[in-house]
Amino acid sequence: MPTLVMKFGGTSVANPDRIKRAAKRVGVEVAKGYNVIVIVSAMSGKTNELVGWVNEISPLYDAREYDAVVASGELVTAGLMALTLQEMDVPARSWQGWQVPVKTTSAHASARIEEIPTDNIVRTFENGMKVAVVAGFQGISPEGRVTTLGRGGSDTTAVAFAAAFGAERCDIYTDVDGVYTTDPRVSDKARKLDKIAFEEMLELASQGAKVLQTRSVELAMRYKVKLRVLSSFEEQSDQAGTLVCDEEEIMESNVVSGVAFSRDEAKMTLISVADRPGIAAAIFGPLAEAGINVDMIVQNISEEGRTDMTFSCPVDHVARADQALQEAKSSGSINYQELIADKDVAKLSVVGIGMRSHAGVAAKMFAALQAEGVNIKVITTSEIKISVLIDRKYMELAVQALHDAFELEKA
């Protein structure tokens, strides 16, 4: 019997009524002949509440106990979903991460899935069970402790289960009805995409799109798991939502598929750094050790053996980046004249697999920004993406200008 994975996010299971609505969707798929694995998040707002309680009790908390507390939100949802399905006469049972077991690393609060043995759940399917309701976001470490996967971890759980069980598809139910060409709250011309390639979705997710968690898309691309993003509040149909799939399954791609953005960026520039072999490693090594998520990197032309080095990072990483570089300077591993942080920038990206075979995308992007008087501070490119840093106050204007320039409202 084919297997289907269905993941319901926090807004989709926010209260008993919404759990019942989600359960009805599961029942429809069971009636089609699927064995269904349901991955659930905690009810909307519950994880934040649990994290707040942990911080109130112990600001410098033990990460193992943090995981024990915050993992409980999904357990409640899993039990309620299983009970709801049973009331519908659908054979269902809830599973906690350790019962499957979802084997992870020992990195509490940011563990990675290493293995999902299928024997336990497959045995219940063979004995007549139709639905396994699994608590997302959690697993068990080699030491036997509960672990959590970090924010958005339930998406990763769902994709990992789909890969482990060879599922026909992994449906991600959320509060939006698919993947759009850009955020509809910024541009009223944003259009829902019927299909999008894994690579495009990964770039959009990593550049600021909030629909799917980046790790889940990476996993889906690696194991060729078909993802469908759809709303739990819209009418159920086989054509609903957006399918995230292999590039080969898309007949003809637009040159640009979407415009992504991130408001909370900062541009940091080291002035007058020695231009010598190993200087980049000396700068970005300490930043990596401090957990700074560096994105765009630009090195200026060398002049008399000195150069400037610019990089971007999340705005809430600025203080830690400053401290890490000051410590590196004090130790003598690097020397620079000044560190300038600009916290009022936004990152804007155009993404599309069609860019591989079409010239002129960069020229059109830059011309559109110029026409609106938007100055570009930093530029980086990849095979299917062009990203720029601009002043944050121009972000919404720039998104709309690029959406119009590439005519993304047209199918």
pTM of the model: 0.82
Is 180 annotated to bind a ligand? Reply is: yes
Over residues 228-246, the mean pLDDT reads 83
CA–CA distance, 348 with 139 (Å, rounded to integer): 35
Q: What is the DSSP letter of 61?
A: -
Is 210 annotated to bind a ligand? Reply is: yes
Is 175 annotated to bind a ligand? Reply is: yes
**From 167-171, 210-214, 320-324, 391-395, the region with the lowest mean pLDDT:** 210-214
pLDDT reported for residue 1: 85
Nearest to 18 by CA among 176, 174, 210, 177: 174
Is 199 annotated to bind a ligand? Reply is: no
Is 188 annotated to bind a ligand? Reply is: no
Over residues 206-219, the mean pLDDT reads 80
Is 211 annotated to bind a ligand? Reply is: yes
For the chain, what's the residue count?
Answer: 411
Q: Which amino acid is at 117?
A: P
pLDDT reported for residue 209: 66
CA atoms within 13 A on the CB side of 195: 13
Is 361 annotated to bind a ligand? Reply is: no
Is 10 annotated to bind a ligand? Reply is: yes
List strands edge to edge, sheet with 113-115.
113-115, 103-104, 138-140, 146-148
- Whether the per-residue pLDDT at 3 is higher than 80: the answer is yes
Q: Which amino acid is at 8?
A: F
Instruction: Supply the DSSP string of 272-328, one letter for each residue.
Output: EEE-STTHHHHHHHHHHHTT-----EEEPPPBTTEEEEEEEEEGGGHHHHHHHHHHH
Encode burial over 163-195: b for 16+ CB neighbours within 10 A, e otherwise.
bbbebebbbbbbebbbbbbbbeebbeebbbbeb
For the chain, the average pLDDT equals 92
Nearest to 207 by CA among 345, 314, 347: 347
Nearest to 314 by CA among 340, 341, 336: 341
- Whether the per-residue pLDDT at 369 is higher than 80: the answer is yes
Is 9 annotated to bind a ligand? Reply is: yes
Is 185 annotated to bind a ligand? Reply is: yes
**pLDDT tier for residue 175 given thresholds of 50, 70 and 90:** confident
**pLDDT tier for residue 184 given thresholds of 50, 70 and 90:** confident
Q: Are 234 and 240 in contact (CB under 8 A)?
A: yes
pLDDT reported for residue 251: 65
Q: Are 257 and 203 in contact (CB under 8 A)?
A: no
Question: Domains of the chain, with CATH numbers?
Answer: 3-175 (3.40.1160.10), 259-405 (3.30.2130.10)
CA–CA distance, 93 with 185 (Å, rounded to integer): 39
